Structure 1
């Protein structure tokens, strides 16, 4: 292409980075480009919450007008800011690679409480203008307070420096692109499948052009990421089908695994203070996936379970209990096992050279620390599941590795990647599975410490719940020693180790995406009875 392409962009530092990124990508394919800065209505209106502006054209309208009148050739947008329908005459010709779509919480260091989930102090004030972020944060931290936060990335960070908030939450992509020094803050990252599902298309840039500019369209296919386009196409279609715009407390994140299976997490609330519904689904194709997700959220026209059994005790404040109570689902929560300690004193010399301590359960954490172990100051902790992370946080411990998959084989491989060649202590139950240690290399020193024993309860009462959730293999053994599965009852196994029990029985079961209460809530919400 011989002509010089004019790129329209907003004037913020992040917008300029994004425009220059596309300019550089064009240069790689020998296409010259220049920037033209355009002020938008969203840059001028600073008194409204950001989520009231996103998706309504406040950050895009003027850029699109310049495209239509021919004064620019293309516009670069943060894809999540765009309405799901293009103005007549315009199209998205290319999308970028996807930056990490995680969220980050920046916390003033004197407002950190590492014993709390997400590390913000009790009753902390968090700056955000996103209904989506607020609803999800309140679901895991109902004590937090929220204040409006507007401005570009640097302006928001300066407001935190000025102590207008105790913490602020932002997209990791924007911070990463600007390569900012944030060492003065405590930073907590929230992965897109954990407590915070990102906005549709978060971390992706959209290149918008005139539909009539077929020559430029063909050129842009050389920098277009078709794989990302298919994934965010699911997310954007979910947003479009809900017809709520970006002010809706809606998060949607789609990714493909190595086998090509699409995995989608969706969260939706009625407003920023409403407890959100969360759903996880997977499918071999993206076709019809958004429509399927929409149908699952139409709770008025489908039958959710009336009663759910879960093989653990729950507090009224548990995420799982609140997620089910929102839909008046009765909960039969009772553990079918009890545990007793097997040792009452430790020889501390054993732990002097330990690099890692790995826990597979909250019981292991409780019994281990009740023994007052003396550990090296630089010891690292690994866990299976966010529930175990929370248990360690409550003891003031920082977790360096969290296994979030329901497949212990995957967790084993991920842990081996960071722990091979070190010394790892495994506090565990008598006769427990040794799943996590299987991928560790021969030069890794393994110390096993049996600290408690699991005892199955006898004469377990049956449940007539629609859904039975089992949280350990021992609970499966205890229940089915005395009971049979009733017709129509559906089974959820928290992980593959628990699921193996049902494989042996020839019983079908559902696995959550993550072995924690959020993962279990996602599964139960998706079940029709």
Structure 2
């Protein structure tokens, strides 16, 4: 017998609720009754500490997964880049909808592009991946922690607390704030996070009914590229808060994956790009990771886990 109401677990931020409501509308168009259940996660509670210092994995999904395991909700909607490489055994990603723009975006107070920002400009970002890659490009910039919801971050740059901030373009598009973007950063400069721009819909493996009901939301091309990217992350044993980047693209029957691992100050940047048939997406991710490990990625990541945020380039 079909469930009378499908319950979606979501974080309570504006963006998270937009994403959950989008899934809700898709399901309602199929005739389902849907309710959104707001759940506060560890990452939402800790706003005054860099996430990389908090440690652990799944800072934005753990409590939502626990609600799934307790049968309090039927499915969860996550930003794919927040989903840890390993999920609790009873759970899985049942659908990955079509990806939004995966690039990073610069929002500049004075509408200056990245190359034109003054030396010493204060740039806000919560991501070590972005910081490392942008320091490799502009070692004269000053990076500072930026936490809070999208509207809070945008307000901070508008009020002059930062010269510019870096955000995921996808979130700005979804919220209708594309006009705030000064520049889309080339993937040559800032390769996206694993799964950036994609949503992950998680549910219980054993819940056949829900799995069938949400299957139509899966986009095979996005699922293929995200599979390759997550296989890279799994082999590198990386979490969401480390300087690992990975982005896959499709061309015909082939998939190309680029992966990067960087030191926190951006002085050392390991890169690897390979391609394979789309049927071998997961194997490709593992292969790219193996190549990065062969170049010394394990040593860089070990140092990141044992250390903290880096001094500015050039500081003793």
* TM above 0.5: yes
* 1:238–1:172 distance in 2 versus 1, CA, 3 Å: same
- Is the 8 Å Cα contact of residues 227 and 282 (structure 2) preserved in structure 1? no
* Alpha-carbon separation, structure 1, partners of 2:182 and 2:55: 25
1:276 matched to 2:269: yes
- Is the 8 Å Cα contact of residues 119 and 188 (structure 1) preserved in structure 2? no
Gaps of 5+ in 2: 297-316
- Residue 197 of structure 1: which of 191, 199, 203 is its match? 191
Gaps of 5+ in 1: 302-529
Q: Which has the higher helix share?
A: 2
Residue 283 (structure 2) aligns with: 288
> Tell me, what secondary structure is at the counterpart of 2:191?
coil
Residue 173 (structure 2) aligns with: 176
* 1:287–1:153 distance in 2 versus 1, CA, 3 Å: closer
In the TM superposition, residue 272 of structure 1 has moved relative to its aligned partner by: 4.4
- Tell me the number of residue pairs that the alignment of Structure 1 and Structure 2 aligns: 293
* Alpha-carbon separation, structure 1, partners of 2:135 and 2:173: 26
> Tell me, what secondary structure is at the counterpart of 1:222?
helix
* Alpha-carbon separation, structure 1, partners of 2:243 and 2:282: 24
1:14 matched to 2:8: no
Residue 158 (structure 2) aligns with: 161
- Is the 8 Å Cα contact of residues 127 and 146 (structure 1) preserved in structure 2? yes
In the TM superposition, residue 118 of structure 1 has moved relative to its aligned partner by: 3.5
By relative contact order (CA 8 Å, sep 6+), the higher-ranking structure is 2
* Alpha-carbon separation, structure 1, partners of 2:106 and 2:218: 31
In the TM superposition, residue 2 of structure 1 has moved relative to its aligned partner by: 5.1
Deviations 1:343-383 (A, max 9, x none): xxxxxxxxxxxxxxxxxxxxxxxxxxxxxxxxxxxxxxxxx
In the TM superposition, residue 284 of structure 1 has moved relative to its aligned partner by: 2.5
Point out the structure with max Rg over C-alpha: 1
Q: Which residues of 2 match residues 9-158 of structure 1 at below 5 A?
A: 9-52=10-53, 56-109=57-110, 112=112, 118-158=115-155
Deviations 1:321-357 (A, max 9, x none): xxxxxxxxxxxxxxxxxxxxxxxxxxxxxxxxxxxxx
- Is the 8 Å Cα contact of residues 84 and 239 (structure 2) preserved in structure 1? yes
> Tell me, what secondary structure is at the counterpart of 2:182?
strand
Q: CA RMSD in A?
A: 1.9
* 1:162–1:94 distance in 2 versus 1, CA, 3 Å: same
- Is the 8 Å Cα contact of residues 52 and 246 (structure 1) preserved in structure 2? no
- Tell me the TM-score normalised to structure 1 length: 0.53
* 1:55–1:19 distance in 2 versus 1, CA, 3 Å: farther
- Is the 8 Å Cα contact of residues 138 and 275 (structure 1) preserved in structure 2? no
